[in-house]
Amino acid sequence: MFQGHEIDNNRCCIFFTNFKLLLINNIFIMYTKSLFFVIGIMWTMNSFGQPTFQKNIGVASNHYHDLNIEPIDDGSNDYIVAGNLFDVPMQNEELTLKRVDQNGNIVWIKKYTHNTFQHARIFDVENYLDLLFVTGSIDVNGTKRTFIARIDAITGNLLQANYYDILSTTLNSRGLHISYTQSDGDGDGQPDPGFIVGGFFSDCYILDTNCINNNFGFVMRTDFNLNLIWTIELDVLNTIDNQDYDFVNNITETSNGFFITGSATGITTNNVVLQEVLAHKIDFLGNFIWDKSYILGNSRDVSVDAFFDLSSQEIYMLSNYSVSHYFGVTVLNNATGVIDFSRSWFSSANDLNRYGFTIMESANSIDNLIITGYDKDENWVDINNNPLFGESNLFVHEFDKATGIQIGQSYQYLVPHVEPVGDEFNFWIGQMPLIYYPDISTQFGAPGTTPNYFHVGYRTDPPGTFTETELIRTTSNKRNVCENLDLMLNPNPITIQFSPVTSANIPNSETVLNINDVILTYTEEFCDPTLSVGDNNLDNMFIYPNPVIDILYLSKDNLNTYTVYDLLGRTAMEGTLITNKSIRVSSLKKGIYFIEVLDNNNAIRIIKFIKE
């Protein structure tokens, strides 16, 4: 029976005994404890006057994995999406990059291979003006070596690449993170433009926490031409058993050095070995400043990213804890490493297994931060009453830096996906990812406007079997244009046990690497839900070509009328479709439009298209 209601200008919630019906920005969602039914949806407009979007990009017979995102700082408002394409058994990969404009259009997409060496794999990408720099690993004669490559951001052409032998030519290594820096890297008091790279090396070819001769985290610094300046290792000596969790996954530059995240081999006071949070600080020369690595739970803890607040000189470290099945934030003093426990917390909610990947400043307020990550698994029912399941569903959470309290509505974007098995970096081999947490979100916008959020995730559309890239753009309200789930997360105080990590200089060497770039063939599709309720025989209608120059074709019969709207909702064209399934749009100016089609049964379908 009806129990109550709440109404404001943006939201109407009606609560019933066994389910809840929500109207959120013109979306109706009915859900029970674990199933969600999306009834209708309307598109939203952002601060640029452009529509937000959600689209997927696929390459035939290949799985995408290791996706990460980086804005391109050349005034274009484009961004780069890096990742790897895998075969069906997830045993062979190819490094890929795609440049995307702010409206989701592909500028170029390429893959990169070597004539002899195999398993070239990217883990992170960095931008500097019109150049891209990527890091990852490549198999050189049976040993995985960390590499760095320089790529032209305008064309995607590869310009230079080196691989590195860290400590020994017999050890395997992977670069998981790369950042640009202009700090003094050699102690001469002058800026040294170049790169800082973090990852791990080991005698094991495959990622393994029981590697006999241990895993070691590393940080290395190069100049702008990728020549080595220094390299350090991070390690905890474990004399109790063979477990080893020493990995570096991210590096954040502060005013006086680099803050390093990842994990380490934590040893409790009872001599129990666990995976612990890495919180390690070095100066610009690689020298140790402080370490506040700690154990929170009873199994696995890992730090994944950090935000440095220049005004307060504080570090906000994002971590995941297996004991809580959630993420948390630890606030540390940049100079001393002292933790502010009054503002440090971990999240909790009834629905478990949401893990943070990225932390960044809010587009709404400098007093807030944004955390994005992936949910391990979710079940829901779509508009056509189809039960769906999604792994790695992206969520967005905003919180107050001073209190940790949630700000506004947090969302999880519901996208069908099943993580393909067989790869060592599969996110869900265990309860949560072991060490690799790529940058999955960013924000940017035109000068003088509120930035938009850009995210990357995964989609496996039933009955399809291959994983595609899911691109999502939202306004600062964080809400996507397709199915989503409201989240309410609660902060809880942390109690920790410190377990120190040491770092020291180690030898390293570099070798020139020749990699080829090849243009990729791909498919793409916008997520454009039906925008009104009615007969569903228009649900599968599509238009082509899109983008279009002259004539736009419609795939369905028995159509009646059409209306074309511009981004401001003004009518740009209208007419009948009784004897024709095509529309000449050559008179339209270049830009983005929406076409509303009415069929003979009065069903309506609205689809976005681009006029070139």
pLDDT digits 0-9 by tens, 489-520: 999 999 999 999 999 998 998 899 888 888 88
Nearest CA to 128 among 153, 100, 165? 153
Under the banding of pLDDT at 50, 70 and 90, the label for residue 557 is: confident
579 vs 607 pLDDT, higher one:
607
From residue 159, give the alpha-carbon distance in Å to each of 84, 139, 148, 179, 252.
Answer: 19, 20, 11, 18, 26
pLDDT of residue 540: 58
The answer to whether residues 572 and 588 touch, using CB atoms and an 8 Å cutoff, is yes
459 vs 513 pLDDT, higher one:
459
Query: Where is average pLDDT lowest: 140-149, 205-214, 316-325, 435-444?
Result: 205-214
pLDDT of residue 51: 63
Taking only the tens place, the pLDDT of each residue in 415-430 is 999 999 999 999 999 9
Mean pLDDT across the stretch 64-83? Answer: 95
535 pLDDT higher than 80: no
Copy the structure tokens of residue 512.
């020139």
Under the banding of pLDDT at 50, 70 and 90, the label for residue 317 is: very high
Rounded Cα distance between 441 and 239, Å, is 39
260 pLDDT higher than 50: yes
Copy the structure tokens of residue 75.
């005034």
25 pLDDT higher than 60: no
What percent of the chain has a predicted confidence (pLDDT) above 90? 67
- Average pLDDT, whole number, for the chain? 87
Copy the structure tokens of residue 182.
């202009």
Q: How far is CA 142 from the centre of its chain?
A: 30
pLDDT of residue 17: 27
At position 565, the amino acid (one-letter code) is: Y
38 pLDDT higher than 80: no
Taking only the tens place, the pLDDT of each residue in 368-395 is 999 999 999 999 987 778 889 999 999 9
pTM above 0.85, yes or no: no
The answer to whether residues 164 and 173 touch, using CB atoms and an 8 Å cutoff, is yes
215 pLDDT higher than 80: yes
Under the banding of pLDDT at 50, 70 and 90, the label for residue 296 is: very high
Nearest CA to 41 among 55, 27, 31? 27
173 pLDDT higher than 80: yes
Query: Where is average pLDDT lowest: 219-228, 281-290, 593-602?
Result: 593-602
Nearest CA to 93 among 104, 107, 82? 82
Residue 342, phi then psi, degrees to nearest 5: -70, -20
Nearest CA to 125 among 165, 104, 153, 160? 153
Domain coordinates of the chain in residue numbers?
4-40, 66-165+513-525, 168-296, 306-495, 535-611
Taking only the tens place, the pLDDT of each residue in 82-103 is 999 999 999 999 999 999 999 8
pLDDT of residue 1: 29
584 pLDDT higher than 70: yes
Nearest CA to 81 among 95, 67, 63? 67
Rounded Cα distance between 264 and 247, Å, is 6
pLDDT of residue 528: 53
Tell me the DSSP string of 223-280.
Answer: ETTS-EEEEEEEE----SSS----EEEEEEE-SSSEEEEEEEEEE-TT--EEEEEEEE
The answer to whether residues 15 and 34 touch, using CB atoms and an 8 Å cutoff, is no
pLDDT of residue 15: 28
**371: β partners:** 359, 397
Q: Is 537 left (phi over 0), alpha (psi -120 to 50) or beta?
A: alpha
Asked if CATH classification 2.60.40.3080 holds for the domain at 535-611, the reply, yes or no, is yes
Under the banding of pLDDT at 50, 70 and 90, the label for residue 538 is: low
612 pLDDT higher than 70: yes
